[in-house]
């Protein structure tokens, strides 16, 4: 009953169809925003299965976020059916290759329980190395050394080669040595940072031809979205997998390359054609996303960049309205203007809150919008920022898990060795660290074989007790699932006592977070068990999932449409009927850190291009003259980029009608002066540089009543569970439901309507298997088709 191929192809224009149908060699689709690149990839995957006859598990698609992969998979399922789509290999580079690394860990001298260090682990390790080497941390700033190491890795420059590479700075010669130590320490800790997930994959394939062959066999076709933002390491890995067959298709837009700070290189698009003989280039020029005026305004902006592949993007949608520029007196008023517009457009066009996005240059800008939206009762969700898993109490718990799974994990061990306090203080820790570095051992090895450790007998006992505690949990790793063991660790470690015994009202939210975290684990275990058909879901599975959560990997609460708030970087590939691009001021956008060179400025301009091209019908730009930053009001001028937009395509709101009329007005706010000040922005960038004040977080504000983090948590949770958030209580309740339903699965029949705990209402279309393996294929009203293993599925028959 699936659409046949002709029907599928008829949903593409001629150039898109050509790109989909070309499968004889490498292909590269270069096209402007909204022209259907992602659509081409999606349809091409369907085509490869239906027409070329490839099996879904032989197709690898690499996307920018895991959420993008899930969405693409759902779309493909609609084209070719769920039974095919589930087996597609899709995800971000990091998630796909971390799984391969676990499977092959032994080949590269790791064990498969390796930890993934996040950015703060990486920095903290660099910091301790700098300290241990006795270097001045004002010269060797941990964050910048860490960035340099990261950059080296993204270019596949290994520690010993660092001195010879262009990143090497003769003024900071020790960075090379720090890098060497850093790599050694990661290895000792059986840990990989995010960049290692790429470097080690590259090395795995480079040095183990049999392994590479195995994956070349497995991935018969490789597709990459957002190719302009892949870095050197990622390109090399793709090449390792595809160089013989050349069955590879990448899509991208050089005008949207915005990740050079992470090592992405705009030239990679050009070098693609050098890596593959006869790579075929496809161009798409029709934008289907935006109105004509938005497309033309975006074009006029990007034309100001010198480095680019010329493109002629046009739209045949409605002409639409011009870009709007709404200057505000202050950041506060900016938020008022935006909220007012959201309400107005929603009323006029009868659309949902989820049709709006507010995009900003830096995360810190979200605060004023949050405040205003809370006041106005506008539902919103923030992507990115401090995620739930970055909160202290959660990081503590996760550190325990990490040590239990991998006791050599140095960063996690340091975090919990004396938390809750157990008398192993800083002095003892530094003795352990010294001994470890002298003997080339991990901290854990020193602690469990403390022959050369110079500490008192009492301390030794304490260390011993701690090791036994950890070992006790380690022995339960195989027997208990992630939730059971996780729960036990929280109780037995004393964390739970520590957090619950406090009468400090601030600790209330920590308690709630801990409870939500447990609910998250429980939900994760249950949903994975359903999907993985009954295998035990171990603590290490949970850690793997948590380590690779990205800002955007949240499903959101489908119950209520919400306005999206996110940075422009996170908005890549997305689209919204109305987009606000806020904070268009010189000290914000372009970022004052990126005004040194033409190259950096061009990247900032591309960033604005990305922002504008997210809009389907309305694109509204705002800027504020005064902004509360660094603990005081700061004056700012409009962004130089505003001048880059063709003035005939930009409507500047001259009056500040939406602002409280009684407020004091400054001369520039007079209607007639609006366009003038735009002509002459002050060169504030230099002025900013002269200001030695470090960037600071906004001053403390009273906690909002609604804890935004618990909201954030729910978002994060959804990736772990693949479904909607269920609080602890209801999860427990539905366990009863599950007992009831799984005790009588045979009353289920094809055509039955069920209500699933996570997926909602659906109709059973197929039943197969027997006993513990009995499976139902269910078409859910809202989430598409899913296969459920009845033994674990939680639903009731309606
Ligand atoms: P970006 O550069 O922002 O990633 P893109 O090139 O990947 O954009 P898509 O997201 O694939 O563009 O497409 C933009 C929108 O246009 C989507 O809503 C898509 O469904 C729609 N679209 C693309 N091609 C067609 C087509 N031939 N017919 C109808 N709609 C289309
Ligand atoms: Mg896209």
Distance of CA 34 from the midpoint of ligand 2 (Å): 7
Return the pLDDT at 587.
85
Contacts of 742 (CB under 8 A, 6+ apart): 790, 791, 792, 793
Residues in contact with 668: Cβ distance below 8 Å, sequence separation at least 6, in sequence order: 625, 677
Residue with tokens 């990091």: 94
pLDDT for residue 1: 39
How many Å lie between the centroid of ligand 2 and the Cα of residue 572? 8
Annotated catalytic residue, options 38, 63, 220, 230: 38
Among residues 220, 256, 435, 613, the one annotated as catalytic is: 256
Is 551 one of the catalytic residues? no
Distance in Å, CA 579 to ligand 2 centroid: 17
Residue 744 annotated as lining a ligand binding site: no
Is residue 688 pLDDT above 60, yes or no? no
Whether the per-residue pLDDT at 184 is higher than 80: the answer is yes
Residue 244 burial by Cβ neighbours in a 10 Å radius (0-12, 13-18, 19+): exposed
Atom of ligand 1 nearest to the CA of 573: 4
Residues 391, 396, 400, 401, Cα dihedral to 10°: -10
Residue nearest (by alpha carbon) to ligand 1 atom 18: 289
Confidence class for position 386, pLDDT limits 50, 70, 90? low
Nearest CA to ligand 1 atom 13: 36
Cis ω on the peptide bond leading into residue 590 (within 30° of 0)? yes
Instruction: Name the least confident of 23-27, 44-48, 623-627, 756-760.
Output: 756-760
pLDDT at 390 > cutoff 50: yes
Is 36 touching ligand 1 by the criterion CB < 6 Å? yes
Residue 557 alpha carbon to ligand 1 centre in Å? 25
Long-range pairs, 183-186, Cβ under 8 A, ≥24: 183/158, 183/159, 185/125, 185/129, 185/410, 186/117, 186/125
Cβ proximity of 635 and 582 under 8 Å = no
- Give CA–CA dist 122/417, Å, rounded: 18
User: Sign of the C-alpha dihedral, residues 63, 66, 70, 75?
Assistant: negative
Any ligand 1 atom below 6 A from CB of 252: no
Whether ipTM exceeds 0.90: yes
pLDDT at 787: 75
Is 785 a residue of the active site? no
How far does the centroid of ligand 2 lie from the alpha carbon of residue 552, in Å? 15
- Classify residue 283 by burial, with Cβ atoms within 10 Å: 0-12, 13-18, 19+: middle
Does the pLDDT at position 705 exceed 90?
no
Any atom of ligand 1 within 6 Å of the Cβ of 30? no
Q: Is residue 226 annotated as part of the catalytic site, yes or no? A: yes
pLDDT recorded at residue 454: 92
End-to-end Cα separation, the chain, in angstroms: 26
Mean pLDDT of 78-107: 92
In 264-355, the DSSP E strands lie at 280-284, 286-287, 314-315, 323-330
| Positive or negative torsion for Cα 261, 264, 270, 274 | positive
| Ligand 1: residue whose CA is nearest its atom 16 | 288
How far is C-alpha 556 from the geometric centre of its chain's CA atoms? 14
290 alpha carbon to ligand 1 midpoint, in Å?
10
Percent of the chain's residues with pLDDT above 70 = 83
**Cα 303 from Cα 299, distance rounded (Å):** 6
Q: What pLDDT is recorded for position 527?
A: 75
Residues 83 and 1 sit within 8 Å (Cβ to Cβ): no
If you average pLDDT over residues 476-498, what whole number do you get? 92
Q: Residue 693 pLDDT > 50, yes or no? A: no
- Closest residue by Cα to atom 14, ligand 1, is 34
Atom number, ligand 1, closest to the C-alpha of residue 253: 2
| Partners of 797 in the β-ladder | 754
Summarize pLDDT for 418-463 with one digit per residue, the tens.
999 999 999 999 999 999 989 999 999 999 999 899 999 999 999 9
Asked if the model's pLDDT at residue 737 lies above 60, the reply is no
The single-letter DSSP state of residue 77 is H
Tokens 């497995």 identify what position?
218
What pLDDT, on the 0 to 100 scale, is given for residue 742? 39
Is 268 strand, coil or helix? Answer: helix
Low-confidence winner among 43-47, 394-398, 718-722 (lowest mean pLDDT): 718-722
CA gap 622, 432 in Å, rounded = 54
CA–CA separation, 615 and 608 (whole Å): 12
What are the start-end ranges of the E strands in 278-417?
280-284, 286-287, 314-315, 323-330, 356-360, 380-382
Which range is least confidently modeled, 322-331, 661-670, 776-785?
661-670
**How many C-beta atoms lie closer than 10 Å to residue 555's C-beta?**
19
Give distance in angstroms: CA of 253 to centre of ligand 1: 13
pLDDT at 657 over 50: no
Q: What's the rounded Cα separation, in Å, for the pair 289 and 294?
A: 10
For residues 752-764, give the mean pLDDT. Answer: 79
With 70 as the cut, is the pLDDT of residue 606 above it?
Answer: yes
What was the pLDDT predicted at 669?
34
Across the range 518-539, mean pLDDT stands at 78
> Could you confirm whether 185 is annotated as catalytic?
no
Position 185 scores a pLDDT of 94
Question: Can you read off the two tokens belonging to residue 39?
Answer: 């659509």
The pair phi, psi for residue 579, each rounded to 5°, is -125, 130
Is 34's C-beta closer than 6 angstroms to any atom of ligand 1?
yes
600 is catalytic: no
CA neighbor of 251 nearest in space, from 12, 54, 62, 52 = 62
Helix (H, G, I), strand (E, B) or coil at 476: coil
Query: Annotation-wise, does 38 bind a ligand?
Result: yes
Nearest CA to ligand 1 atom 19: 36
Q: Is 459 in the pocket of ligand 1 (CB under 6 A)?
A: no
At 413 the pLDDT is 96
The answer to whether 620 and 324 are in contact (CB under 8 A) is yes
pLDDT higher than 60, residue 530: yes
Q: How far apart are CA 464 and CA 486, in angstroms?
A: 22
Which ligand has an atom closest to residue 316 CA? 1
- Is the distance from the beta carbon of residue 71 to the nearest atom of ligand 1 less than 6 Å? no
Cβ atoms of 125 and 137 within 8 Å: the answer is no
Average pLDDT over residues 240-248: 95
The reported pLDDT for the residue numbered 592 is 84
User: Does 103 count as an annotated binding residue?
Assistant: no
The pair phi, psi for residue 140, each rounded to 5°, is: -100, 80
| 4: DSSP letter | P
The H-assigned helical ranges of 362-481 are: 366-376, 392-405, 410-416, 426-439, 443-448, 457-474
Q: What is the mean pLDDT of the chain?
A: 83
Geometric angle at alpha carbon 194, from 528 and 61, rounded to 5°: 60
Tokens of 753: 């309507």
Is the CB of 13 within 6 Å of ligand 1? yes
Specify the higher pLDDT residue, 325 or 791. Answer: 325
Q: Is 257 annotated as a binding residue?
A: no
Kindly give the number of the ligand 1 atom that is closest to the alpha carbon of 613.
3
pLDDT at 702 over 60: no
Say whether pLDDT at 320 is over 90. Answer: yes
Which is the catalytic residue, given 195, 196, 225, 341?
225
- The pLDDT tens digits for 250-267 are 999 999 989 877 666 667
Ligand 1 centroid, distance to 378 Cα (angstroms):
29
Q: Please calculate the CA angle 213-217-218 and round it to the nearest 5 degrees.
A: 120
Strands 760-768 and 753-756 turn out to be antiparallel
pLDDT of the residue at 262: 67
* Closest residue by CA, ligand 1 atom 23: 36
**Hey, what are 81's tokens?**
């059916």
Rounded alpha-carbon distances, angstroms, from residue 787 to 82, 197, 750, 755, 768:
9, 31, 13, 14, 10
Over pLDDT 90: what percentage of the chain?
Answer: 57
Higher pLDDT, 120 or 184: 184
pLDDT in tens, 112-166: 999 999 888 999 999 999 999 999 999 999 999 999 999 999 999 999 999 988 8
pLDDT of residue 771: 78
State yes or no: pLDDT of 9 exceeds 50: yes
Longest dimension (CA), the chain: 81
Let me know if 256 is a catalytic residue.
yes
CB 387 within 8 A of CB 711: no
Residues 775/768, Cβ–Cβ less than 8 Å: yes
Q: Are 49 and 59 in contact (CB under 8 A)?
A: yes
For 53: left if phi > 0, alpha if psi spans -120 to 50, otherwise beta; the answer is left
**Any known ligand binding at 124?**
no
Q: What is the pLDDT of residue 550?
A: 62
Ordered DSSP codes for 683-746:
-HHHHHHH--PPP-PPPP-PPPSS-HHHHHHHHHHHHHHSS----HHHHHHHHHHHHHHHHSGG
pLDDT band per the 50, 70, 90 thresholds, residue 557: low
């Amino acid at each position: 009953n699936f659409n046949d191929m002709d029907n599928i192809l008829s949903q593409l224009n001629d150039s898109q169809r050509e790109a989909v149908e070309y499968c004889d060699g490498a292909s590269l689709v270069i096209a402007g925003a909204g022209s259907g690149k992602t659509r081409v990839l999606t349809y091409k995957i369907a085509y490869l299965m239906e027409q070329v006859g490839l099996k879904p598990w032989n197709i690898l698609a690499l996307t920018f976020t895991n959420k993008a992969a899930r969405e693409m998979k759902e779309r493909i399922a609609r084209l070719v059916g769920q039974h095919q789509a589930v087996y597609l290999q899709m995800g971000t580079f990091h998630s796909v290759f971390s799984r391969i690394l676990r499977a092959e860990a032994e080949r590269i001298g790791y064990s498969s329980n390796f930890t993934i260090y996040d950015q703060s682990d990486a920095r903290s390790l660099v910091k301790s190395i700098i300290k241990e080497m006795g270097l001045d941390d004002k010269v060797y700033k941990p964050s910048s050394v860490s960035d340099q190491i990261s950059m080296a890795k993204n270019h596949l420059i290994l520690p010993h080669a660092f001195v010879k590479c262009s990143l090497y700075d003769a003024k900071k010669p020790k960075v090379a040595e720090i890098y060497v130590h850093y790599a050694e320490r990661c290895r000792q800790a059986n840990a990989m940072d995010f960049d290692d997930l790429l470097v080690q994959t590259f090395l795995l394939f480079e040095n183990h031809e049999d392994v590479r062959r195995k994956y070349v066999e497995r991935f018969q076709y490789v597709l990459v979205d957002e190719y302009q933002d892949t870095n050197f390491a990622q390109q090399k890995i793709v090449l390792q997998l595809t160089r013989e067959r050349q069955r590879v298709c990448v899509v991208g837009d050089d005008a949207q390359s915005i990740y050079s700070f992470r090592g992405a290189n705009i030239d990679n698009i050009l070098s693609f054609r050098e890596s593959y003989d006869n790579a075929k280039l496809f161009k798409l020029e029709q934008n289907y996303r935006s109105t004509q005026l938005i497309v033309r305004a975006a074009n006029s902006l990007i034309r100001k960049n010198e480095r680019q592949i010329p493109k002629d993007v046009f739209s045949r949608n409605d002409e639409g309205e011009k870009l709007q520029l709404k200057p505000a007196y202050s950041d506060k008023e900016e938020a008022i203007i935006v909220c007012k517009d959201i309400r107005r457009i929603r009323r006029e066009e009868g659309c949902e809150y989820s049709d709006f996005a507010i995009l900003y240059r830096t995360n810190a800008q979200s605060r004023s919008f949050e405040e205003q939206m809370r006041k106005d009762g506008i539902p919103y969700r923030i992507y990115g920022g401090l995620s739930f898993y970055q909160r202290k109490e959660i990081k503590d718990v996760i550190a325990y898990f990490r040590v239990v799974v991998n006791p050599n994990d140095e960063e996690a061990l340091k975090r919990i060795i004396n938390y809750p306090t157990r008398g192993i203080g800083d002095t003892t820790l530094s003795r352990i660290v010294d001994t470890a570095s002298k003997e080339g051992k991990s901290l854990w090895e020193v602690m469990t074989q403390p022959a050369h450790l110079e500490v008192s007998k009492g301390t030794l006992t304490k260390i011993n007790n701690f090791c036994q505690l950890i070992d006790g949990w380690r022995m339960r790793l195989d027997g208990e699932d992630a939730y059971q063991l996780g729960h036990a660790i929280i109780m037995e470690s004393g964390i739970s006592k520590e957090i619950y015994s406090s009468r400090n009202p601030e600790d209330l939210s920590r308690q709630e977070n801990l409870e939500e975290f447990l609910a998250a684990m429980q939900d994760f275990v249950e949903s994975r068990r359903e999907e993985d058909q009954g295998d035990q879901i171990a603590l290490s599975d949970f850690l793997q999932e948590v380590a690779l959560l990205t800002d955007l990997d949240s499903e959101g609460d489908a119950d209520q449409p919400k306005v999206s708030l996110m940075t422009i970087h996170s908005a890549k590939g997305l689209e919204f009927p109305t987009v606000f691009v806020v904070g268009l001021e010189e000290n914000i956008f372009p970022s004052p850190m990126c005004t040194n060179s033409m190259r950096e400025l061009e990247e900032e301009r591309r960033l604005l291009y990305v922002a504008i091209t997210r809009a389907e019908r309305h694109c509204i730009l705002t800027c504020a003259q005064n902004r509360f930053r660094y603990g005081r009001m700061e004056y700012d001028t409009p962004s130089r980029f505003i001048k880059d937009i063709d003035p005939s395509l930009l409507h500047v709101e001259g009056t500040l009608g939406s602002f409280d009329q009684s407020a004091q007005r400054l001369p520039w706010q007079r209607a007639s002066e609006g366009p003038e000040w735009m002509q002459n922005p002050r060169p504030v960038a230099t002025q900013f540089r002269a200001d030695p004040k470090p960037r600071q977080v906004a001053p403390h504000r009273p906690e909002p009543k609604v804890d935004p983090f618990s909201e954030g948590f729910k978002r994060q949770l959804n990736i772990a569970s693949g479904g909607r958030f269920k609080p602890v209580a209801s999860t427990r309740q539905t366990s009863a439901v599950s007992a009831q339903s799984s005790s009588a699965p045979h009353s289920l029949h094809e055509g039955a309507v069920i209500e699933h705990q996570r997926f909602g209402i659906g109709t059973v279309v197929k039943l197969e298997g027997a006993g513990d393996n009995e499976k139902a294929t269910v078409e859910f009203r809202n989430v598409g088709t899913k296969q459920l293993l009845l033994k674990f599925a939680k639903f009731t028959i309606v």
